[in-house]
Amino acid sequence: MGLFMALALVTVVVRPVANMYSGPSRDTDVVSQAIYGANVGVVEEKAGWVKIRTPDDYTGWTPAAWLRRGAPYAASGRVAQVASLFANLYREADVTKHEPVITVPFEARLEVAAEPDGNGRWIEVKLADGRRAWVQRGDVEFDSRPMGLEQMIAFSRRFLGIPYLWGGTSTYGYDCSGFVQMLYRRLGVLLPRDAQPQAQFRGLEPVERLQLKPGDLLYFGPGPDKIRHTGMYLGNGEFINATTHERPMVQVDRLDEPPWTETLVACRRLK
């Protein structure tokens, strides 16, 4: 039905990060997240909750108050994408007068309203809820292009120390597959959201453990059909992953150490 279903059914996330739950209640588990400014499709509605579909074709329930109905946001015109781990947006072009209006994570897209100083420090943006705010140019980028593999591998270390968060897809916290999905998105490749479907993704091909190269993806679990974790190989026996092992954060681990060496069940390389 087009990019996000029919235009009338498009909603925009107005919260920095919106949890997506397995059911229409915050007492159910978090299955994923949608970040600020994302245009999401509406699948179903129930008592103040909306079941949404994200651009990676993932569905989950989120409170209707975290969404705005209407035209797509930051889908045309001049668009800035957050390049810093986080970006503070202010009510005026000044960081000292008032607290930020909102703090949005890496990859959030923003509609540019004005650039009064050309290439100056500040950019005025229209927020997803219609308000205006100011963001520092150093926090955003324009016309971002896919990275090369070596550039992405070096880039991945920028996220070291970001908290682990089950269902997380942003710099507020990543889970293992959300982190790997984000890294490959920088290559221009949209992987499935979860680790098991990632390992089965037709855009990847199997590779033997002894043939691993930097940038290859690693999948762990009791068996090939029960994959529960993923990370990206960095070379020299090391890989980067978002994990709860010892320290709940994005970290670098060694493939020859437990529990990783005995639970590695699949290795994949981009075709």
- One DSSP character per residue, 172-239 reads TEE-HHHHHHHHHHTTT----SSHHHHHT-TTEEE--GGG--TT-EEEESSSTTS--EEEEEEETTEE
Pairing of strands 109-114, 49-53: unpaired
Supply the CATH classification number for the domain 79-141: 2.30.30.40
**Residues 156 and 171 sit within 8 Å (Cβ to Cβ):** no
CA distance to 73, 117, 156, 160, per residue, from 126 (Å): 9, 17, 30, 31
**The pLDDT of residue 107 is above 90:** yes
Give the CA-trace dihedral at 83, 87, 89, 95, to 10 degrees: -110
Rounded to whole angstroms, how far apart are CA atoms 168 and 178? 6
Model pLDDT for residues 63-82, shown as the tens digit of each residue? 999 999 989 999 999 999 99
CB-based contacts of 204, cutoff 8 Å, min separation 6 = 198, 217, 268, 269, 270, 271
Q: Looking at residue 38, what is its pLDDT? A: 97
The CATH architecture annotation of domain 7-69 reads Roll (2.30)
Rounded to whole angstroms, how far apart are CA atoms 207 and 173? 29
Model pLDDT for residues 240-269, shown as the tens digit of each residue? 999 999 999 999 999 999 999 999 999 999
Please report which confidence band the pLDDT of residue 57 belongs to, taking 50, 70 and 90 as the band edges.
very high
Helix (H) or strand (E) run with residue 151 in it: helix 149-156
Model pLDDT for residues 120-167, shown as the tens digit of each residue? 999 999 999 999 999 999 999 998 899 999 999 999 999 999 999 999
Model pLDDT for residues 153-212, shown as the tens digit of each residue? 999 999 999 999 999 999 999 999 999 999 999 999 999 999 999 999 999 999 999 999
> Do 79-141 and 149-270 fold alike per CATH?
no
Supply the CATH classification number for the domain 149-270: 3.90.1720.10
Domain range list for the chain = 7-69, 79-141, 149-270
